[in-house]
């Protein structure tokens, strides 16, 4: 676990720690995706558990508790997150068994005589049944027991859970502050940092993943394949996208399409400002209705992006959906 929140949340964390005695028993941290909510929750948890915190309330990083937190072995801390299986695939949901397994932890007192914390991240990955299993504990938290929930989409969280939490919005950094941070983290130039940030829709954490050399080259390849449509065949494009997962190229295709729609309406691109000329030229060859239809079809495709029955067919279907924006309607028939 990390001890430091991202710089743009530092003062919020200090403010929250000043008021630590009045911490709600269930805190819901919400905010845009990829702005550092997990880092904030972890830094807050480490500080609340630290046995010799600094004057400003932050974790010392040196005591026994901090050592356990760093090693993810603190006996008074439980983290619930989506599990990763042996093949490296992350589950879509937090499973009910994970919530049930909390019972033992909740049944005993604090090992260190201080607070006990349960961190649930992302809390919106709990389905209804799982959320219900958690509900009773949230209603009657034991003494010194605190829940910290993190959610990108609090609306997807059961209303019964939401209503039992005190919610706190974590702000997104301004593009300038985010780009400066990306520059430092990745040692790239300002223009490049801005381009990655735009492509990541303003999410600095996603931007630094994009900027990793292997990812950066993959993204250039995928984007180039998508941007050549409809002037290249969908077979050639599917070949070019073959080495990559739908999770990688489909969001890119959706963002490219959104930028086409913005340009078609006379606006400027949000995700690919460096490609403005190309986007304007392409957008003149479609119309808003077709772009909207293609966007809806790609969103439908996205629902099965994590588990396509046949990756090649999934790719061809997605390309057909995208090409619908340009009036090409050669749709492969699904074999499902």
Q: In Å, how far are 51, 143, 226, 311 from 300, measured between CA atoms?
A: 50, 46, 18, 15
- Residue 149 is a binding residue for Zn ion (CB under 5 A): no
Q: CB-wise, 42 or 283, nearer to Zn ion?
A: 42
Q: CB-wise, 46 or 178, nearer to Zn ion?
A: 46
Q: Which of 23, 60, 177, 274 binds Zn ion (CB under 5 A)?
A: 60
Q: Directed axis angle between helix 204-211 and helix 213-227, to 10°?
A: 90
Which stretch in 35-43, 65-73, 87-95, 252-260 sits in contact with Zn ion by CB under 5 A? 65-73
Which stretch in 51-59, 124-132, 146-154, 177-185 sits in contact with Zn ion by CB under 5 A? 51-59
Residue 76 CA to residue 111 CA, distance in Å, equals 6
Place of tokens 């919106």: 124
Please answer whether residues 297 and 289 qualify as being in contact, where contact means their C-beta atoms are separated by less than 8 angstroms: no
What's the closest the beta carbon of residue 13 comes to Zn ion, in angstroms? 15
Q: CB-wise, 66 or 150, nearer to Zn ion?
A: 66
How many C-alpha atoms does 210 have within 13 Å on its Cβ side?
A: 29
**How many residues sit in the footprint of Zn ion (CB under 5 A)?**
5
Residue 229 CA to residue 322 CA, distance in Å, equals 9
What's the closest the beta carbon of residue 108 comes to Zn ion, in angstroms? 22
Q: CB-wise, 59 or 218, nearer to Zn ion?
A: 59
Which stretch in 24-32, 54-62, 235-243, 285-293 sits in contact with Zn ion by CB under 5 A? 54-62
Which stretch in 58-66, 83-91, 183-191, 281-289 sits in contact with Zn ion by CB under 5 A? 58-66
- Residue 70 is a binding residue for Zn ion (CB under 5 A): no
H/E element, 98: helix 96-100
Binding flags for Zn ion, 4-43, as an x/- string (CB under 5 A): ----------------------------------------
Q: CB-wise, 20 or 83, nearer to Zn ion?
A: 20
CA geometry: angle at 277 spanning 195 and 264, to 5°? 100
Q: What is the DSSP string of 134-177?
A: HHHHHHS--TTEEEEEEES-GGGS-HHHHTTSEEEEPPPPPHHH
Which stretch in 18-26, 64-72, 195-203, 283-291 sits in contact with Zn ion by CB under 5 A? 64-72
Give the 3-state secondary structure percentages of the chain, helix then strand then coil, rounded to 5: 55, 10, 35
Q: Which of 1, 28, 43, 50 binds Zn ion (CB under 5 A)?
A: 50
Which residues form the interface with Zn ion (CB under 5 A)?
50, 59-60, 63, 66
């Amino acid at each position: 676990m990390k001890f430091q929140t991202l710089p743009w949340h530092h003062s919020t964390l200090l403010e929250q720690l000043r008021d630590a005695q009045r911490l709600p028993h269930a805190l819901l941290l919400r905010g845009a995706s990829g702005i550092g909510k997990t880092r904030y929750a972890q830094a807050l948890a480490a500080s609340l558990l630290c046995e010799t915190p600094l004057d400003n309330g932050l974790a010392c990083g040196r005591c026994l508790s901090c050592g356990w937190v760093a090693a993810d072995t603190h006996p008074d801390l439980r983290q619930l997150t989506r599990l990763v299986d042996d093949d490296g695939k992350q589950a879509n949901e937090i499973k009910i068994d994970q919530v049930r397994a909390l019972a033992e932890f909740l049944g005993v007192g604090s090992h260190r005589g201080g607070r006990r914390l349960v961190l649930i991240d992302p809390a919106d990955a709990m389905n209804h049944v799982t959320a219900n299993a958690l509900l009773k504990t949230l209603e009657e938290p034991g003494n010194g027991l605190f829940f910290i929930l993190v959610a990108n989409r609090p609306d997807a969280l059961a209303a019964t859970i939401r209503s039992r939490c005190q919610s706190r919005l974590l702000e997104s950094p301004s593009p300038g502050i985010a780009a400066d941070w990306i520059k430092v983290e990745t040692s790239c130039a300002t223009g490049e940092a801005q381009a990655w940030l735009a492509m990541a829709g303003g999410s600095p954490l996603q931007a630094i993943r994009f900027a990793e050399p292997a990812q950066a080259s993959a993204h250039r390849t995928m984007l180039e394949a998508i941007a050549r449509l409809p002037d290249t065949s969908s077979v050639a494009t599917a070949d070019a996208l073959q080495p990559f997962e739908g999770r990688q190229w489909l969001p890119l295709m959706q963002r490219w399409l959104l930028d086409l729609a913005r340009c078609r309406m006379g606006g400027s691109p949000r995700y690919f400002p460096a490609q403005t000329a190309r986007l304007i030229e392409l957008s003149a060859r479609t119309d808003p209705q077709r772009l909207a239809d293609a966007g809806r079809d790609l969103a439908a495709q996205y629902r099965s992006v994590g588990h396509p029955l046949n990756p090649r067919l999934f790719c061809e279907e997605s390309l057909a959906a995208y090409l619908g924006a340009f009036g090409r309607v050669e749709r492969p028939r699904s074999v499902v």
